[in-house]
Amino acid sequence: MKCDLVVVGGGPGGSMAAKAAAAAGLNVVMLEKRQEIGDPVRCAEGVSKRSLHKMVQPEPEWISSEVKGARLYAPDGNSIVMSEDKSGGEVGYVLERKVFDRGLAMLAAQAGARVMVKTRALGLIKKDGAVCGVSAMRIGEPIQIEAPLVIGADGVESKVGRWAGIDTTLKLDDIESCAQFLVQDASIDDDYTEFFLGNSIAPSGYAWSFPKGRKLANIGLGIQGSRSKPGEAVRLLRQLMKSRFPNGRVVEMVVGGDPCSGPINSAIADGVMLVGDAARQTDPLTGGGILNAMKAGAIAGEVAAKAISAGDFTRKGLQEYEARWKEDIGKTLARSFQLKEFFVKLTDKDINQLIGSLAKEDITKMDLGGMLRVLFRLNPKLLWSLKSLII
Amino acid sequence: MLTVNRYKCCYCGACVGVCPTCALELVETWLEVSTECKECGLCAKICPVGALEVRA
């Protein structure tokens, strides 16, 4: 089989890339190793409403619920509230990823991309050192797909980058080990995403509740890999359930690894572009990755079309992708990485002090930057090392 | 050697992302371990469900 572009991975990044490239006239094949796109889920499903609408017109069935804001709990139980349009990060919509991912794949298919499920990439085909396709296993049968360009959208367990010589291996400091239950409980706040901070709750991470409507919520947590031990994420989640949601009924279980390394220096190689979790474009502070993957995917798809028409598939020919994703999301990712590096070291006493200091401040109208500036003013000694990031 | 408890594994692929020798591969619900495995145990440490174990 021959085509212009192979996209490896049918998540939001892959589908947006396939959609953009197909819409620009390329002959695109998108491979998904699972037999069902979007399932099993590995995500807390929160996205910013405004940012999602900038990317795509969402169908009503993609969205489980809409939240008004976020509430952050300190280890001592004190809390603060941020409103939806200002908290900036991953609140707004709580998606139904199984339907959402499939919906985006449908958009790619409608734009003309060929989607192959239960098809797993095995390696890059190279000729005289240049990428010229992907070898794959399709429903147990080997196939070769010839193409001068490959987009790796193959997630946390990405192989495409490593095959192309881009080292995407995550250090234990740079991955969060996560576990989540879908929970039915009368005590769930349907209107607010909740975050629970503390080293005994989720060491160098946080716990969350993303409400999905009708007293159903994704309740989970992530812990820094270096502070994990076998089975720790699930053990801590059970502990959280016991203390916070003792009457909760668990109807689904989700686990996963969330990259928080900050983006790799270069997401391109000759004939190859990486997008989304594969390029470690996940926000290291929040762990949110859907929108960044979609943005990067759309850019990569456009650049693929340009590269095909120019006939240049080398690193140089793909440089526009590198420049544009860095311009769009690179700076925020770099800042989030520095903030994460700081926040993972905080003691419970520090977190109590920071959240407690906001008790008398009106932060409901502030964005993250504004809140950080207030925090800095109230806690200059504790936050001094972040001075250059905040002011 | 590295053992995978198939009854525990939730096939999330976190282990694949941290493997320094690219020895792990997630095939839908089946985690494959290749001969490249150096038994470093990083995967076992971060496994959210504790499905991996390096045994002497």
Given a cut of 90, whether residue A370 has pLDDT beyond it is no
**Is residue A251 a contact partner of residue A184, using CB atoms and an 8 Å limit?**
yes
Provide the H-helix boundaries in chain B: 14-18, 42-46
Task: Please write the tens of the pLDDT for every residue from A244-256.
Answer: 999 999 999 999 9
Summary mean pLDDT of chain A = 95
Residue among B17, B20, B44 whose CB faces A257 most closely: B17
State whether A175 and B45 contact (CB < 8 Å): no
The DSSP symbol for A99 reads H
A229 and A372, same structural domain?
no
State the average pLDDT over residues A343-361: 95
Same structural domain for residues A105 and A15? yes
- A10: nearest Cα among A21, A19, A1, A2: A19
- With respect to residue A51, please indicate whether it lies within any of the assigned structural domains: no
Q: Which of B14, B22, B24 sits opposite A175 (nearest CB)?
A: B14
Query: Could you give the count of Cα atoms lying within 13 Å of A21 in the half-sphere of its Cβ?
Result: 33
- Asked whether residue A319 falls in the same domain as residue A386, the answer is no
pLDDT digit string, tens, across residues B2-45: 999 999 999 999 999 999 999 999 999 999 999 999 999 999 99
A269 and A314 share a domain?
A: yes
What tens digit of pLDDT does each residue of A63-119 get? 999 998 899 999 999 999 987 665 555 569 999 999 999 999 999 999 999 999 999
Which chain A residue lies closest to B25 (C-alpha atoms)? A157
Same domain, residue pair A162 and A228: no
Binding-site residues on chain A for chain B (CB distance < 8 A): 33-35, 40, 42, 118, 120, 155-159, 162, 168-172, 175, 177-179, 225, 228-234, 253-257, 259
Same domain, A176 and A276: no
Q: How far apart are CA A356 and CA A112, in angstroms?
A: 54
Residue % of chain A over a pLDDT of 70: 98
d(C-alpha A94, C-alpha A100), whole Å: 11
Shortest Cα distance from B21 to chain A (angstroms)? 9
Number of Cβ within a 10 Å radius of residue A95? 26
pLDDT of B30 reads 97
pLDDT at residue A363, rounded to an integer: 83
Scanning chain A, the segments in alpha helix (DSSP H) are: 12-23, 49-55, 84-87, 97-110, 160-163, 232-244, 290-310, 319-325, 331-343, 348-357, 368-378, 380-383, 387-390
Domain annotation covers residue A251: yes
A106 burial (CB, 10 Å; 0-12 / 13-18 / 19+) is middle
| Fold topology of B2-54 | Alpha-Beta Plaits (3.30.70)
* Chain B residues with beta carbon closer than 8 angstroms to that of A154: none
Is A49 part of any domain?
Answer: no
The verdict on A278 and A133 lying in the same domain is yes
Query: Residue for token digits 């964005």?
Result: A367
Which chain B residue has its CA at the smallest distance from A224's CA?
B46
Residues A81 and A191 in one domain: yes
Query: What confidence category does residue A130 fall into, taking pLDDT thresholds of 50, 70 and 90?
Result: very high
Counting the structural domains of chain A, the total is: 3
Cβ of A256 within 8 Å of Cβ of B49? The answer is no
Cβ B53–A230 below 8 Å, yes or no?
yes
Domain final residue, candidates A243, A259, A275: A259
Say yes or no for a CB contact (<8 Å) between A157 and B20: no
**CB–CB contacts below 8 A, A to B:** 94
Per DSSP, what are the bridge partners of residue A131? A126
Asked whether residue A161 falls in the same domain as residue A233, the answer is: no
pLDDT of residue B51: 98
Asked if A317 and A229 sit in the same domain, the reply is no
The answer to whether residue A50 sits within a structural domain is no
The answer to whether residue A53 is domain-embedded is no
Which CATH number characterizes residue A229's domain?
3.30.9.10
Question: Tens digits of per-residue pLDDT, A35-57?
Answer: 999 999 999 999 999 899 999 99
CB contact under 8 A, B17 and A178: no
pLDDT value, residue A302: 98
Give Cα A363 distance to the centre of its chain. 26
Print the domain residue range for A188.
60-93+172-259
Closest residue by Cα to residue A284 from A323, A219, A342: A342
pLDDT tens, A139-184?
Answer: 999 999 999 999 999 999 999 999 999 999 999 999 999 999 999 9
- Residue A33 — pLDDT band, cuts 50, 70, 90? very high
Of A33, A42, A225, the CB nearest to B46: A225
One-letter amino acid at A283 equals: D
| Domain ranges within chain B, ordered by starting residue | 2-54
pLDDT at A188 over 80: yes
Q: Tell me which chain A residue has its CA closest to the CA of residue B16.
A: A157
Residues of B with Cβ-Cβ distance to A253 under 8 angstroms: 10
Q: A114-116 and A92-95 as β-strands: parallel, antiparallel, unpaired?
A: unpaired
Distance from CA of A70 to the nearest CA of B (A): 26
pLDDT over 70 at A206, yes or no = yes
Name the residue of chain B whose CA is nearest to A43's CA: B12
Q: Where do the DSSP E strands lie in A58-148?
A: 63-66, 69-73, 79-83, 92-95, 114-116, 119-127, 130-138, 141-146
CB atoms within 10 A of CB A242: 10
Q: What is the pLDDT of residues A213-230, one digit of tens each?
A: 999 999 999 999 999 999
Q: Kindly write down the DSSP assignment for every residue of A28-51, as one continuous string.
A: EEEE-SSSSTT-S--S--EEEHHH
Strands A149-152 and A5-8: parallel
The mean pLDDT of A195-224, rounded to a whole number, is 98
Whether B19 sits inside 8 A of A232 (CB atoms) is no
8 Å CB contact of A231 and B46 = no
